[in-house]
Amino acid sequence: MNKRQKSQYLFRNRWIDRQRIVRNMEAFQDLIVIVLCFGLFAYMVMQLWEIFTELTLPLDHQQVTAKILFLLILVELFRLLMVYLQEHSIAVGVAVEVSIVSVLREVIVHGALEITWVQAASICGLLFILGALLLVCAKTPHMDHMINKTKHSALNHSDDEQQENGNKMSHSTQYEEIVN
């Protein structure tokens, strides 16, 4: 009987490769995200068309501003999906930006004067926390960037070792020349 590899497991007397399953599931997730991107893009175009058609009517500045901010939220969500497709991870900074714009949009739509002081304090607290989280995200390097730096520093370290070995070799050949 063959010994199983670590990436395989037995199911109904058949070896199933986990890595192949994971690759297929990731491809399926990418397909779902691509469909979401197309749907979101189509919805953004419809919203943009609605904004332009409303400009011909008498303007309600509060509603137009709310719709423009909603369109910006959709653009940020689209950017979040694009980052996910490229890196296969959620960009927390972009998600926090979307949250901040969403909260501000709600304040604009409902009016700052129409909300109670408890709601205003809650919104201020939420914006403070989201701002702090955005600051932390901006100061913390991304994992991919950290991995690249680690690889780069490992390469530099091996280059430095090669240079040192080369210097030792050149010193040893110089020593041999002096001795001879």
User: Could you tell me if 107 and 126 are in contact, meaning their C-beta atoms sit under 8 angstroms apart?
Assistant: no
For residues 19-28, average pLDDT: 84
pTM: predicted TM-score of the whole model, two decimal places: 0.61
In this prediction, residues 155-165 reach a mean pLDDT of 51
> DSSP secondary-structure letter at 141?
P
Give residue 9's pLDDT.
Answer: 58
35 membership: H or E segment, kind and range: helix 18-54
What's the average model confidence in pLDDT over 57-78?
85
Percent of the chain residues past pLDDT 90, beyond the cut:
19
Residue 167 has pLDDT above 80, yes or no: no
The rounded mean pLDDT for the chain is 76
Residue 53's pLDDT is 86
pLDDT of 175 higher than 50: no
Q: Token pair for residue 128?
A: 């403070």
3-state SS class at 11: strand
pLDDT tens for 78-131 read 988 988 888 888 888 888 888 888 888 888 777 777 888 898 899 999 999 999
Facing residues of 21 across strands? Answer: none
Distance in angstroms (rounded) separating the CA atoms of residues 165 and 168: 5
Give yes or no for residue 41 having a pLDDT over 90.
Answer: yes
Cβ-based neighbour number of residue 166 at 10 Å: 10
3-state secondary structure of 135: helix
**Cα→Cα distances 97→32, 92, 100, 101, 135, Å:** 23, 9, 5, 6, 11
- Which of 8-17, 41-50, 111-120, 148-157 has the largest mean confidence? 41-50
CB 102, CB 139: distance < 8 Å: no
- Greater confidence (91 vs 48) lies with 48
1-24 mean pLDDT: 65
